[in-house]
Amino acid sequence: MDLIQLIRQRAIGTNKRIVLPEAEEERTLRAADDIINENIAHLILIGNENTIKANAKHWDLKHIAKATIIDPIENPRKQYFADKLFEIRKNKGLTIDQALKLVENPLYLAVLLIKTGEADGEVAGANNATGDVLRPAFQIVKTKPGISSVSGAFIMVLKDKNFGQNGVLVFADCAVNPDPTAKELAEIAVASANTAKAIAGIEPRVAMLSFSTKGSATHEKVDKIVEATALAKEMNPELLIDGELQADAAIIEAIGRKKAPGSPIAGIANVLVFPSLESGNIAYKLVQRLAGAEAIGPVLQGLAAPINDLSRGCSVEDIINLVAITVNQANGE
């Protein structure tokens, strides 16, 4: 069984409640139908009930009737959710009138459903930009205790099984922090190691990437990676981690041995932490397109509840897979 099948299998029958706030959108509704049919999750669909039902009929989707549908505009509990939002954000200057308007936004309502305990997780982004999906999550559910920065990892499944662990590597941060500090990079390393273990099922060996290996170049950006590596070791002394390493020294055994002798992970890394969002985002897209790798994610790490963001170019299968990952996260895996 391949990794994504395993992730889906683990979700089946666990009855987690996942919100899809873009339920009027075709790929989302088609994915919802399969998710319900395969018993991957119980779904809460946000959108106009008549539109969702008419679309389901038009596209011949047979299982949508089993989902809970919440209309964000004709919502009898609008005041209740607005009051909750006001309580959470009043110290940031939010007024009750602004809160009443915001709860009509499906992306805010979805996160409020999680905050009030009515849902276990959310998947969105088929129709909305990453920032618009993340902002309500950051503002309302916030980060896990001890974590200051949310990040986004991709599980890369390569055709060439010689890399990583049997072809599986975790790349981060590919989705959130444009210019992370050393502390944020350390948190990204620790969180990505957890994702590697919990979602990808691999024993993490973390490389902190740079354009330099073990002092081959001198620059403040190199110093930042060295500092981040030390901080990550402090945060988790058990972690198998090393840096700074160039990408070839991280993943090719002969080069790792030569450039970083004695390193516990050089040449055999399976978790790659990139120094910036530019490098992480570009790298995962190049590996996906040029090497034909499967890119599963982004899996958001560090949020107090499982909320995941799709690419707007996503397919129906991508949505089903990310819902299954979200269920796995909600199950604490």
Q: Report the interface residues with ligand ACO, using CB under 6 A.
A: 92, 130-131, 134-135, 138-139, 143, 149-150, 174-178, 281, 298, 311
User: Which one, 28 or 149, has the nearer CB to ligand ACO?
Assistant: 149
Q: How far is CA 132 from the centre of its chain?
A: 14
| DSSP designation for 144 | P
User: Which one, 52 or 299, has the nearer CB to ligand ACO?
Assistant: 299
User: Which one, 52 or 287, has the nearer CB to ligand ACO?
Assistant: 287
Rounded to 5°, angle at Cα 262 from 257 and 265: 75
Beta strands 151-157 and 294-301 are antiparallel
Query: What stretches of 150-283 adopt beta strand conformation (E)?
Result: 151-157, 168-172, 206-209, 241-245, 271-273
Q: Report phi then psi at 295, rounded to 5.
A: -110, 110
User: Which one, 136 or 267, has the nearer CB to ligand ACO?
Assistant: 136
CB of 135 to ligand ACO, least distance (A): 5
CB of 269 to ligand ACO, least distance (A): 22
Rounded to 5°, angle at Cα 300 from 265 and 113: 155
User: Which one, 10 or 27, has the nearer CB to ligand ACO?
Assistant: 27
User: Which one, 130 or 331, has the nearer CB to ligand ACO?
Assistant: 130
User: Which one, 71 or 309, has the nearer CB to ligand ACO?
Assistant: 309
CB of 263 to ligand ACO, least distance (A): 29
CB of 250 to ligand ACO, least distance (A): 22
CB of 173 to ligand ACO, least distance (A): 8
CB of 42 to ligand ACO, least distance (A): 26
Q: How many Å apart are CA 295 and CA 13, to the nearest integer?
A: 25
Write out the two tokens for 40: 């991957």
Task: Quickly count: other Cβ atoms within 10 Å of residue 312's Cβ.
Answer: 11
CB of 90 to ligand ACO, least distance (A): 12
Burial of residue 332, with CB atoms counted within 10 A of its CB: 0-12 exposed, 13-18 middle, 19 or more buried: exposed
- Cβ neighbors of 281 (< 8 A, separation 6 or more) are 174, 175
Q: How far is CA 216 from the centre of its chain?
A: 33
CB of 130 to ligand ACO, least distance (A): 4
230: part of which helix (H) or strand (E)? helix 220-235
User: Which one, 61 or 137, has the nearer CB to ligand ACO?
Assistant: 137
Q: How far is CA 133 from the centre of its chain?
A: 11
